[in-house]
């Protein structure tokens, strides 16, 4: 199962039917304290990158929404230094990828991008926000599912293995700071593509 399968699961009919509520980008601000806990209690450093995944619509109004997202991020770039790119993958999913050494700027920029889609009436097209971390054991991600309104951890390891112990420790430590997905069946892995990379790498 690759990245596409994970995204399909986030977009899938079950995630849609089991959606908790409408997308709320304010949930992303939970990472403002979580990244401090990640560093202080678990030894994870921010990987200085975050990503927003959304599905596209072939319409002029959707293109205008994407253009406004780019304009907002470009306007803020001078103040925050947050680098960004907007791209589509081979399967038609779209990504806003941001890079900044300040986690607060990453969180704020991702919020602005998500909120802009909602203001344009495309909140239902938002799939996931990804926050990347790393420690001596390898990478770990907090993934926010807009369909479920919850975060869940993902700790991939070589050979498409998951470090379940790391994921459960992340869950236990951040419980209370983040709205965590309780149903483990919704902890969808976002494996790299066949080329071995994620869109944010």
Q: Confidence band (pLDDT; 50, 70, 90) for 58?
A: confident
CB 198 within 8 A of CB 3: yes
What average pLDDT does range 178-191 have in this prediction? 92
CB 168 within 8 A of CB 184: no
Least confident piece of the model among 17-21, 65-69, 125-129, 143-147 = 17-21
Report pLDDT digits (tens) over 63-97. Answer: 999 999 999 899 888 788 899 998 877 667 889 99
CB 92 within 8 A of CB 55: yes
Residue 17 has pLDDT above 70, yes or no: no
Mean pLDDT taken over the chain: 87
Question: Is domain 3-186 classified as CATH 3.30.1950.10?
Answer: no
Residues whose CB falls within 8 Å of the CB of residue 80, separated by 6 or more in sequence, listed in order: 100, 102, 105, 108, 109
Residue 54 has pLDDT above 70, yes or no: yes
Q: What are the residue ranges spanned by the domains of the chain?
A: 3-186
Report pLDDT digits (tens) over 135-145. Answer: 999 999 999 99
């Amino acid at each position: 199962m690759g990245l596409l399968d994970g995204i399909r699961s986030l977009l899938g009919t079950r995630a849609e039917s089991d959606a908790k509520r409408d997308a709320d980008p304010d949930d992303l601000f939970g990472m403002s304290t979580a990244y401090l806990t990640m560093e202080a209690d678990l030894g994870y450093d921010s990987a200085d990158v975050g990503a927003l995944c959304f599905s596209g619509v072939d319409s002029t109004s959707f293109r205008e929404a994407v253009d406004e997202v780019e304009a907002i991020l470009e306007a803020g770039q001078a103040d925050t230094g947050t680098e960004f790119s907007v791209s589509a993958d081979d399967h038609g999913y779209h990504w806003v990828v941001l890079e900044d050494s300040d986690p607060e700027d990453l969180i704020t920029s991702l919020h602005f991008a998500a909120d802009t889609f909602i203001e344009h009436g495309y909140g239902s097209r938002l799939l996931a926000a990804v926050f990347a971390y790393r420690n001596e054991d390898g990478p770990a991600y907090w993934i926010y599912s807009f369909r479920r309104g919850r975060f869940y951890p993902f700790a991939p390891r070589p050979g498409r293995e998951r470090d379940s112990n790391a994921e459960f420790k992340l869950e236990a430590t951040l419980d209370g700071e983040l709205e965590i997905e309780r149903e483990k069946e919704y902890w969808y892995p976002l494996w790299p593509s066949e080329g071995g990379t994620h869109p944010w790498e």
